[in-house]
């Protein structure tokens, strides 16, 4: 009987056995992929909540702050991008970030309009 006395060393690079921390963006994107089963709920939130509530509020804030044309373009483009991605039936890994980005744009516009002030007497419709 032959005896083997060979030692086998296994080299493990540092960090391989440690659990890796995912970045916030990667965790968000994996969460959006998991939301695919709730696609119609996100569609309803985007179209009804954003299109019927937040965009009209944003446009009203723009009107009250002096009808700044660039803000009209930003608000309507944000809503259009959200609408097009949802009507094109793109996966939730695309529609949810677009929806949140358009919400952020609308909130930024409302904040800007609030900072410069509302003046109903200067509004001409």
Report the residue count for the chain: 125
Tell me whether residue 43 is in a domain.
Answer: yes
Q: Is residue 110 part of a domain?
A: yes
**Is 92 domain-assigned?**
yes
Residue 16 lies in a domain: no
Determine the pLDDT at residue 14.
62
Half-sphere exposure of residue 22: CA atoms within 13 angstroms, side-chain side:
8
Written as six digits, the tokens of 25 are: 């963006």
Packed helices 92-116 and 24-34: angle between N→C axes, nearest 10 degrees: 120
* Residue ranges making up the domain that contains 99: 37-117
59 lies in a domain?
yes
Read off the pLDDT of residues 13-46 as tens digits, 9 standing for 90 and up.
665 555 667 788 888 888 888 888 888 888 898 8
Residue 19: the pLDDT is 62
* pLDDT computed for residue 24 by the predictor: 84
Q: What is the pTM of this model?
A: 0.75
Task: Give the Cα separation of 57 and 46 in Å (integer).
Answer: 15
Domain count along the chain? 1
Task: Report the chain (125 residues): mean pLDDT per 10 consecutive residues.
Answer: 59 61 83 85 89 92 89 94 90 90 95 87 66
Residue 100 domain-assigned? Answer: yes
């Amino acid at each position: 009987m032959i005896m083997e006395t060979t030692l086998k060393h296994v080299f493990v690079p540092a960090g391989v056995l440690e659990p890796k921390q995912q970045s916030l963006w990667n965790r968000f994107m994996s969460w959006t992929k998991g939301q695919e089963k709730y696609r119609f709920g996100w569609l309803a939130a985007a179209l009804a909540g954003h299109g019927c509530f937040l965009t009209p509020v944003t446009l009203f804030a723009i009107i009250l702050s002096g009808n700044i044309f660039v803000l009209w373009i930003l608000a309507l483009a944000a809503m259009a991008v959200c609408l097009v991605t949802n009507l094109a039936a793109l996966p939730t890994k695309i529609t949810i970030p677009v929806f949140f980005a358009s919400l952020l744009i609308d909130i930024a516009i409302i904040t800007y309009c609030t900072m410069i002030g509302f003046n109903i007497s200067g509004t001409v419709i």
